[in-house]
Homo-oligomer: A and B are copies of this chain.
Amino acid sequence: MSSDLEAPPAVTRRLGYLLKHAQLRLAELAEPRYAPLGITGRQLALLTLFGDGPALSQQDGAARLGIDRTTMVALVDELEAGGLVRREVAPGDRRKRLVALTAEGERVRAAGEEVTRQAEAQLLEPLADAEQFRDALGRVVRGE
């Protein structure tokens, strides 16, 4: 649902409006590319998180994404049902479940990250310096 009428400048210059609609535009560009892979953008974010670096428990992963651990349970359930990740009991602490990508999960992650690059490039196409914009956004998020 993209708006046909344009909002007045007093609205379109609000950062809240701009950030929300930038997200909507990104989703419009990216989700159709994820669909053939059988995943959503959110699921790809998890594959990226758990496929990168040392193995993480569900709770560690949730903290890093800023989501609740109960939300993480449902998300991992989805990926596990699709055969993209496995839950493994952590060697040192049998309460923890490390989330590991399957071979198929790794394949989907690589393909997903490639189409993400395409969608992001398309979104940032109007900008002369896309990397500068990404860096600025990063500084704003980190508050530094």
Asked if A85 is an interface residue, CB under 8 A from chain B, the answer is: no
**Least CB separation from A140: chain B residue:** B22
Find A10's partner among B5, B48, B66, B126 (CB 8 Å cutoff).
B48
Asked if A74 is an interface residue, CB under 8 A from chain B, the answer is: no
Residues of B within 8 A of A142 (CB): 126
Q: Could you tell me the distance in whole angstroms from the C-beta of A17 to the nearest C-beta in chain B?
A: 7
Whether A52 contacts B138 by the Cβ 8 Å rule is no
Find A6's partner among B64, B68, B134 (CB 8 Å cutoff).
B64
Whether A19 contacts B16 by the Cβ 8 Å rule is no
Whether B7 contacts A64 by the Cβ 8 Å rule is yes
Would A3 and B66 be within 8 Å (CB), given that A10-B52, A15-B123, A23-B23 are in contact?
yes
Find A21's partner among B2, B7, B66, B126 (CB 8 Å cutoff).
B66
Residues of B within 8 A of A16 (CB): 23, 26-27, 30, 41, 45
Q: Which residues A1-49 have CB closer than 8 A to chain B? A: 1-27, 30, 41, 45, 48-49
Whether B25 contacts A141 by the Cβ 8 Å rule is yes
Q: Could you tell me the distance in whole angstroms from the C-beta of A126 to the nearest C-beta in chain B?
A: 4
Would A127 and B136 be within 8 Å (CB), given that A8-B64, A25-B143 are in contact?
yes
Residues of B within 8 A of A6 (CB): 64
Residues of B within 8 A of A68 (CB): 1
